Amino acid sequence: MTHPGEDHSDAGSDPGSAAGSASPAARSAAMATPGADLPDPDGPGLPDSPASGPQASGPQLPGAHATGPRPARAPGLTEAEVAERVARGQVNDVPVRSSRSTREIVRANIFTRFNAIIGVMFGIILVVGPIQDGLFGLVIVANTAIGIVQELRAKKTLDSLALIGEAKPQVRRDGAARTVPTSGIVIDDTVLLGIGDKVVVDGRVAEADGLEIDESLLTGEPDPVLKHPGDEVMSGSFVVAGAGAFTATKVGREAYAAQLAEEASRFTLVRSELRSGINDILRFITYLLIPTAIGLVVSQLAVEGNDWREAVRRMVAGIVPMVPEGLVLLTSVAFAIGVIRLGRRQCLVQELPAIEGLARVDTVCLDKTGTLTEGGMDVIELRALRRADGEPGEEPAVLQQALGAMGGADSRPNPSMQAVIDAYGPPGDGGWRVLEAMPFSSARKWSGVQLLEPQGTEASWLLGAPDVLLPAGDPVLAEVDELGAKGLRVLLLGRTPSALDGPDPAAALEPLALLVLQQRLRDDAADTLRYFEGQQVRAKVISGDSAVSVGAVAAHLSLPGAEHPVDARTLPAGQEELAEVAERTSVFGRVTPQQKRELVGAMQSRGHTVAMTGDGVNDVLALKDADIGVAMGTGSDATRAVAQIVLLDDRFATLPSVVAEGRRVIGNIERVATLFLVKTVYSVLLALLVVFTNVPYPFLPRHSTVLSTLTIGVPAFFLALAPNNERARTGFVRRVLRLAVPGGVIAGTATFTAYMLARADHTSDLKADTSVATLTLFLVAMWVLAIVARPYTWWRLLLIGVMGGAFALVMVVPWLSDFFQLSLEGTRDAWIGVGIAVVAGLLLEVVWRVVVRRTDA
């Protein structure tokens, strides 16, 4: 039984919650206590279902008795039986990985189409020489090694975090409960279940204590399924109410959801706009590269017919810069470093595209309990209510004893019920006996216990949301609203003669008292909300608690719009109308799990990228449908299973870092993609111009190497890792090509113009002509770098200056200029090249301003 008025059925962060225990050892110890995991066989029996009759459905107080059959609790396997099954291979050995294997990482970084092209070109240069023209091959080797090392570091981080966040199922062996890794479950194991627990293997229900299983992730059916002993349970489903145990019948790859689970938890680089956009660009470049390269080969062999080695070198120099080999590398490195950075903040990225999704988030939906508030609560008042005739109500002592009995019937107390237990404790043998218990569900918003009272009267006691248990307009609700407006959690304690399995147990409810609890706000919640507001990310609180109470908490944290909370029971049914309400509302209360899902869908229908945070089973559907699901580490197994991001330390303040990391990665990849594609465009254009004019290609491979390194390779590496808080938008390919295509055309045209003017001066040789072209292209490429690096910071200006200084050294230091075959004869051609570069730079500025204006529009 969980807290009746809570906005999720598993509190997650409470030490007493089975699914949310921060300490698996403590959870194991609690479960090992007689009657803690399920009723003791010497005590009350387990019901087939809450509606099957007045049978005991929870641990009873001393002297309690039960009606109905009392099935014996299975002791589970012995250690010898477990060892025998392990020896036979009947163990849950499905390899669930959070990252690619080392072999896959190495293969993915080495065996690429562009590495193959570069490798062939490098082999050719090794044959024709000299070695300085093969520097590009060594650069590729170094870049590939960097990519492998960074991904291996990310793998290490992911694997260690995944181990921390892995589900820890409990099994009963030798009559005692113990925690085992998922891979340690064997055939015929008795696996224990509580609220929020994920069913990790297939099995057959052996014990059921109001056990309700949500199979929506497997079947698509949203309604929980009530399970009886003998019913089948499938891996991938999860518990939303009650408790129980099942016998494992299929483990490993035979389990229903084993393959799905393996694929869902795999570290992946696919299914993202960024990756697909880059792949589309690379595919187009490949098609363009082949005919251009063929034409270049033919033309250079024709032009340099007397020196085939020189022709081959210049052909290689034309082909190599067409390949944006570093773009894929830096994309992988940026993602990998993002994973490492988030890992240091105890944030587990279960799907790599989640980093990209975070960059695009403009709406964050927050669950109040466990997100804005901490798990713990304190009872500050038990306010007895007068009877309908105005007479005094029940004595406080009686109310406290009843609450104590309810607390004693809860084997898995969450923060709210733990506060009740701490305040009143389970009573001694005072004559209160539990006959039947109805577990909490998010749909009902209450839980109940049928008690045999000391005077021998049987009655059902309900504890839950006042606005659900009481009819509209009841005068008690005004009192509830007054307390809720102060940010307090208010529950109604009532008694009814109706049976818990009746059609409406709350119909004849006699309200007896208001239980007032105080929630503990997270210290970092207000600062986190202010961060989202400053970053133009809308925060919306979607809670199952009272709208007035949620609004008060949100107002205390200064959330815009908190003064107008909306009760979800008044929400329209149509998606368009719902989307309209969601646009203008910041706080929703009394939201059911299905409504959470519908609200997420409504906001997505308006073009918003939605992130959803949660820790309880009632958040699962919304987490799954959101663009990005963020689960708390101590939340239920089910939430962690469907979320893309898991905050292992439960710190709400980590979310700004997570969003910022996503923006940094995507924004910077867009920057460096522009640099690489400008190079590809001007390289293709130069090759075509050379083919059509039948002149020697202006560069040798060593020239392309120094240009690519100083204007793209080194700067791109630093820019890819720089801070970047700009929210990413869709249309990655379109935005990149808007600058890359005209920028490449301008750079290529300027370079070829300077080259041809230098060739017209018959006093210079090919080396001097090449030097003029190299100088012109370097200056134009640096101008592109200066545009891409905006807005400027001290280190970005320093980076541009260092790259310019490095090129100056290459030109003036004798041994470097000899090594790279660069030599400017006289000043006229050099200054012509500089002038052409300045004109090209001004054209780039015009293009840039037009691109920015169109992009902003």
pLDDT tens-digit readout, 569-579: 899 988 899 99
Band the pLDDT of 749: cuts 50, 70, 90.
very high
- Distance, CA of 321 to CA of 740 (rounded, Å): 15
664 plus 790 within the same structural domain: yes
Is residue 14 over pLDDT 60?
A: no
129 plus 180 within the same structural domain: no
* 8 occurs within a structural domain: no
* 159 occurs within a structural domain: no
Return the beta strands (E) in 543-667 as ranges.
566-567, 587-589, 610-614, 628-632, 645-647
Query: What local confidence, expressed as pLDDT, does residue 764 receive?
Result: 60
497 plus 385 within the same structural domain: yes
pLDDT, tens digit, 9 for 90 and up, residues 529-559: 888 888 888 999 998 877 888 888 888 888 8
Residue from 782, 797, 788 nearest 840 by CA: 782
Strands 610-614 and 363-366: parallel
Query: What local confidence, expressed as pLDDT, does residue 221 receive?
Result: 59
CATH code assigned at 828? 1.20.1110.10
503 plus 436 within the same structural domain: yes
* 14 occurs within a structural domain: no
- Distance, CA of 46 to CA of 726 (rounded, Å): 56
Lowest-pLDDT choice from 136-140, 408-412, 571-575, 596-600: 408-412
Query: What local confidence, expressed as pLDDT, does residue 408 receive?
Result: 74
Query: What local confidence, expressed as pLDDT, does residue 743 receive?
Result: 92
Is residue 590 over pLDDT 50?
A: yes
700 plus 803 within the same structural domain: yes
388 plus 334 within the same structural domain: no
pLDDT, tens digit, 9 for 90 and up, residues 244-285: 899 999 887 777 655 544 444 444 433 567 777 877 887 888
752 plus 825 within the same structural domain: yes
Query: What local confidence, expressed as pLDDT, does residue 47 receive?
Result: 33
- Residue 367 bears catalytic tag: yes
Band the pLDDT of 37: cuts 50, 70, 90.
very low
Is residue 192 over pLDDT 80?
A: yes
User: Of 24-28, 149-153, 381-385, 752-756, where does the model show the most confidence?
Assistant: 752-756
Query: What local confidence, expressed as pLDDT, does residue 402 receive?
Result: 84
Lowest-pLDDT choice from 323-327, 439-443, 572-576: 439-443
Band the pLDDT of 216: cuts 50, 70, 90.
low
User: Of 6-10, 495-499, 637-641, where does the model show the most confidence?
Assistant: 495-499
> Which one of 520, 550, 571 terminates a domain?
520
Q: Count the Cβ atoms, other than its own, within 10 Å of residue 93.
A: 17
Lowest-pLDDT choice from 388-392, 747-751, 817-821: 388-392
* 160 occurs within a structural domain: no
CATH code assigned at 507? 3.40.1110.10
Is residue 8 over pLDDT 50?
A: no
What's the mean pLDDT when you consider all of the chain? 78
> Which one of 520, 542, 570 terminates a domain?
520
pTM of the complete model beyond 0.75: no
Is residue 457 over pLDDT 60?
A: yes
719 residue type, one letter: L
* 6 occurs within a structural domain: no
Query: What local confidence, expressed as pLDDT, does residue 222 receive?
Result: 58
Is residue 837 over pLDDT 90?
A: yes
608 plus 725 within the same structural domain: no
Higher pLDDT, 778 or 168: 778
645 plus 676 within the same structural domain: no
- 756 to 255, 331, 690, 733, 762: CA distances (angstroms): 70, 37, 10, 33, 11
* 557 occurs within a structural domain: yes
Lowest-pLDDT choice from 29-38, 186-195, 393-402: 29-38
713 plus 762 within the same structural domain: yes
Is residue 747 over pLDDT 90?
A: yes
* 404 occurs within a structural domain: yes
| Domain extent at residue 64 | 24-94+165-264
803 close to 779: Cβ distance less than 8 angstroms: no
CATH code assigned at 608? 3.40.50.1000
Query: Would you state the torsion angle of the CA atoms of residues 621, 624, 625, 626, taken in this order, to the nearest 10 degrees?
Result: 120
Band the pLDDT of 220: cuts 50, 70, 90.
low
* 491 occurs within a structural domain: yes
Of the listed 209, 214, 367, 545, which one is catalytic? 367
- 296 to 127, 320, 565, 691: CA distances (angstroms): 19, 12, 68, 6
User: Of 274-283, 491-500, 796-805, where does the model show the most confidence?
Assistant: 796-805
- 188 to 41, 179, 250, 712: CA distances (angstroms): 20, 16, 9, 60
> Which one of 486, 503, 520 terminates a domain?
520
441 plus 562 within the same structural domain: no
Query: What local confidence, expressed as pLDDT, does residue 2 receive?
Result: 39
User: Of 623-632, 723-732, 834-843, where does the model show the most confidence?
Assistant: 834-843
- 308 to 341, 774, 820: CA distances (angstroms): 51, 23, 20
Q: Which two tokens stand for residue 720?
A: 């890819």
Q: Quick one: what percent of the chain has pLDDT higher than 90? A: 15
496 plus 615 within the same structural domain: no
Q: What is the CA radius of gyration of the chain?
A: 34
Is residue 784 over pLDDT 80?
A: yes
Higher pLDDT, 601 or 720: 601
The count of structural domains within the chain is: 4
User: Of 15-19, 104-108, 213-217, 271-275, where does the model show the most confidence?
Assistant: 104-108
Band the pLDDT of 98: cuts 50, 70, 90.
low
Query: What local confidence, expressed as pLDDT, does residue 63 receive?
Result: 32
Name the 3-class secondary structure at 806.
helix
Residue 298: its H or E element: helix 273-303
CATH code assigned at 60? 2.70.150.10
